[in-house]
Amino acid sequence: MNIRTGIATVATVLLLAGQAAAQPRTVAVTFDDLPYQASAAELCDADTLAALTDGFIAMLKPLDARATLFINRGKVCAAQADRMRGLLTGWLAGGFVLGNHTANHPNIHRMTVEAWLADVEAGDIGGPASAPKYFRHPYLFTGETPEKKAAMAAGLAERGYTVAPVTIDNNDWMFAAVYRKADLAGDGALKRRIGEAYVKHMADVLDHYEPYSAELTGGREPAQVLLLHANHLNRDWYPQIHALYLKRGYRFVSLEEALRDPVYALPETYVKANGVSWLHRWTVSAGRPIRWEPDPPDWIVKAYEAK
């Protein structure tokens, strides 16, 4: 190789490396269990319901008004049904996309598909006819037998739903349960420790999923769908999760845009009594072994199990 060709080759390699580094990461953020992860009594009290939801939306809206909110409308008592309708209208007007997460968050492993689909219908949140109707499975359970899985999928399709898969699954709910206990105990120092451990865990989870997801798409990281929940933990700490994603080069996109990534058309034949990331489902469906994401730290798991 002469010097001129050598310089040209080095320049080409640098250019390609630059393009690889600039490859934009994208993520659609989804929050489940709206209006809020709280007790039935709290959600039935008009002032508490308003305070919980207003606080959460006030945190989220300046950061990511493209987030999709998955609602369990049956969690709000009949006395607050009008207020619930008002909340849904307000969130839609604020630009959020709303999805159905069933009315009452039932566990399909303990019921028939017919009863489960009745709860899906009771959870319908309406919305503009032109917009996609998104559905998120409670616990990410999609059916523990091939027959149930097929009947659930057919029932959702018949009702016009687009399933919203999750790629970045992360156990935020476990941190949230421990955080809730610390909150009730008035232990601010413990809340901070839990919040900091949560942000660290979410970085560890990305360290795992980013290269793992790229194995499905020829080395390119696909558009991710992040699953989080509406609760005190994320009200207080989501801004730091958002900052973590920005620091890693993510652009925040709508669920509709994320689902256009070809990864979401991969075959998905996972059948098990377990709610897992679609990255695992596609990996198994491609005949490869799952590599699980990191668990929360032991002290969080122990504190959760001690409840």
Q: How far is the CB of 133 from Zn ion (least distance, A)?
A: 17
Residues in contact with Zn ion by the rule CB under 5 A: 32-33
- Using CB positions, name the residue nearest to Zn ion: 32
Q: How far is the CB of 19 from Zn ion (least distance, A)?
A: 39
- In the bound state with Zn ion, the residue whose beta carbon lies nearer, of 33 and 64, is 33
CA distance 120 to 226: 22
DSSP string, 232-269: HHHHHHHHHHHHHHHHTTEEE--HHHHTTSGGGGS---
Q: How far is the CB of 89 from Zn ion (least distance, A)?
A: 22
Q: Which residues contact 78 (CB under 8 A, 6 or more apart)?
A: none
- In the bound state with Zn ion, the residue whose beta carbon lies nearer, of 52 and 216, is 52
- In the bound state with Zn ion, the residue whose beta carbon lies nearer, of 163 and 216, is 163
CA distance 197 to 211: 22
Q: How far is the CB of 267 from Zn ion (least distance, A)?
A: 25
CA distance 170 to 245: 14
Q: How far is the CB of 83 from Zn ion (least distance, A)?
A: 21
Specify the DSSP class assigned to residue 15. Answer: H
In 35-122 the beta strands, taken as DSSP E runs, fall at 68-71, 97-100
Q: How far is the CB of 36 from Zn ion (least distance, A)?
A: 12
- In the bound state with Zn ion, the residue whose beta carbon lies nearer, of 102 and 224, is 102
User: Do residues 228 and 164 make contact, with C-beta atoms less than 8 angstroms apart?
Assistant: no
- In the bound state with Zn ion, the residue whose beta carbon lies nearer, of 137 and 148, is 137
- In the bound state with Zn ion, the residue whose beta carbon lies nearer, of 32 and 169, is 32
Reply yes or no: is the peptide bond before residue 132 cis, omega within 30 of 0.
no
